Amino acid sequence: MELGLRDKRVLITGGSKGIGRQTALTMVQEGAEVALVARTLATLESARQWIRDVVPDARVTVISADLTGEAAAQRAVDEAIRAMGGVDILVNCAGAAPGRLLEEIDDETWAVALGLKFLGYVRMVKAVMPHFVERGGGVIVNVIGNDGVKPSFWELTGTAANAAGLAAMQALADQYGRYGIRIVSVNPGPVDTGRWDTLTEAYARDMNLSVQEADRLAKSSIAFGRIATPQEVADVVTFLASDRARFVHGTSLTIDGNQRKALMDVWQRPNHS
Ligand SMILES: NC(=O)c1ccc[n+]([C@@H]2O[C@H](COP(=O)([O-])OP(=O)(O)OC[C@H]3O[C@@H](n4cnc5c(N)ncnc54)[C@H](OP(=O)(O)O)[C@@H]3O)[C@@H](O)[C@H]2O)c1
């Protein structure tokens, strides 16, 4: 299926690693030009080389910015517009929310979680919107997370940030659809990236499990007996960003192999003390 992404200009936050980097490669393989945003320049350079190892003539701009600040988000968008001559698609994928149980989450931790995973996405949407309105259209795909639709107490900050993100994006879809701007979100469950290693460690700590047991439980909560690959998420993001999904708007798609989170809740076991 031809996706029609040739020469589209795609701005991808969190593009130096994991799902964002895989999405960048997949977009490039479809003929798109990409601009990658993350904090660490060295990792961004490695990601550019990783993409060019597969597609030697890939057009890749790298932009170092910390998206916990509004001015930095605006600068990232402005640099991407300057480098590529415009932006057609924004993929929001730079996020992380610290794990921990309610009793251990103080205001500062909440602020960190909401500051990047929720506000970081909103900041990027706000920064790119005037450009999309002016050019008469654009597409935004948010990589959010299944905690927003399948809440879990051991991922409380992510649960809250993701639910807030999904609601905000749905509301913004109402506001901006009339300008030809399409907004969709995806909700991955566990995905095999560096981020997943951190999440497993947090889950193991909070549930008093070994990391191996935590990893096994996570896999057994998915009928396929494994977690997703970054490519499995990148493929859906790429399709949703394309014109082939032109009537998909204001909604979200969960990519988690029908994960049943209750199977990870060891507190529900009869012998739990
Ligand atoms: N992996 C999973 O199991 C999973 C599941 C559900 C949802 N998700 C969501 O999917 C998205 C991508 O996850 P991933 O697993 O691909 O993550 P990852 O491999 O840890 O990559 C995170 C990316 O975000 C960048 N980043 C982090 N903090 C940033 C900041 N303050 N400003 C700008 N860039 C920043 C990182 O680069 P720098 O560190 O250099 O800035 C990196 O490029 C996240 O929103 C995550 O919550 C992941």
The pLDDT value given to residue 194: 87
SS3 content of the chain, % helix, strand, coil (to 5): 55, 15, 30
CA of 135 to the centre of ligand 1 (A): 29
- Write out the two tokens for 85: 């001559």
Distance, in Å, from the CA atom of 34 to the CA atom of 52, rounded to the nearest integer, reads 12
**Nearest protein Cα to ligand 1, atom 15:** 195
What's the token pair of residue 148? 């927003």
Per-residue confidence (pLDDT) for residue 137, from 0 to 100: 98
Nearest CA to ligand 1 atom 36: 14
Burial (CB count <10 Å: 0-12, 13-18, 19+), residue 54:
exposed
Could you read off the pLDDT tens digit of each residue along the chain, which spans 273 residues?
Answer: 899 999 999 999 999 999 999 999 999 999 999 999 999 999 999 999 999 999 999 999 999 999 999 999 999 999 999 999 999 999 999 988 888 899 999 999 999 999 999 999 999 999 999 999 999 999 999 999 999 999 999 999 999 999 999 999 999 999 999 999 999 999 999 999 988 888 899 999 989 999 999 999 999 999 999 999 999 999 999 999 999 999 999 999 999 999 999 999 988 876 665
- Is the torsion defined by CA of 101, 218, 21, 180 positive or negative? negative
Sheet holding 9-13, edge to edge: 60-64, 33-38, 9-13, 89-92, 138-143, 181-188, 251-255
Alpha carbon of 159 to ligand 1 centroid (Å): 16
Output the CA torsion sign for 151, 149, 255, 119. negative
**What token pair was written down for 73?**
């988000």
Residue with tokens 């602020």: 111
Please state the pTM of the whole predicted model.
Answer: 0.97
CA angle 199, 262, 194 (to 5 degrees): 15
Q: 95: CA distance to ligand 1 center in Å?
A: 4
> Tell me, what's the pLDDT at 9?
99
Q: Evaluate whether 183 touches 208 at the Cβ level (below 8 Å).
A: no
Specify the ligand 1 atom closest to the Cα of 117: 45
* Residue among 116, 193, 200 whose CB has most ligand 1 atoms within 8 A, to mutate: 193
Using only C-alpha atoms, what is the Rg of the chain?
A: 18
Q: Report the pLDDT value the prediction gives residue 273, as an integer from 0 to 100.
A: 57
How high is the pLDDT of residue 195?
Answer: 85
With the most atoms of ligand 1 within 8 angstroms of its CB, the residue from 90, 159, 195 to mutate is 195
CA nearest ligand 1 atom 22, residue = 14
Q: Name the token pair of 44.
A: 């961004």
Q: Which residue has the tokens 């507190």?
A: 267
Asked if residue 270 lies in contact with residue 231, where contact means CB atoms within 8 angstroms, the answer is: no
Question: What domains lie within the chain, and their CATH numbers?
Answer: 9-189+231-255 (3.40.50.720), 190-227 (no CATH)
Residue 200 Cα to ligand 1 midpoint, Å, equals: 15
Name residues contacting ligand 1 (CB within 6 A): 13-14, 16-20, 38-40, 43, 66-68, 93-96, 116-117, 143, 145, 188, 190-191, 193-196, 199
Backbone angles phi, psi at 93, to 5 degrees: -145, 15
| Cα 178 to ligand 1 centre (Å) | 31
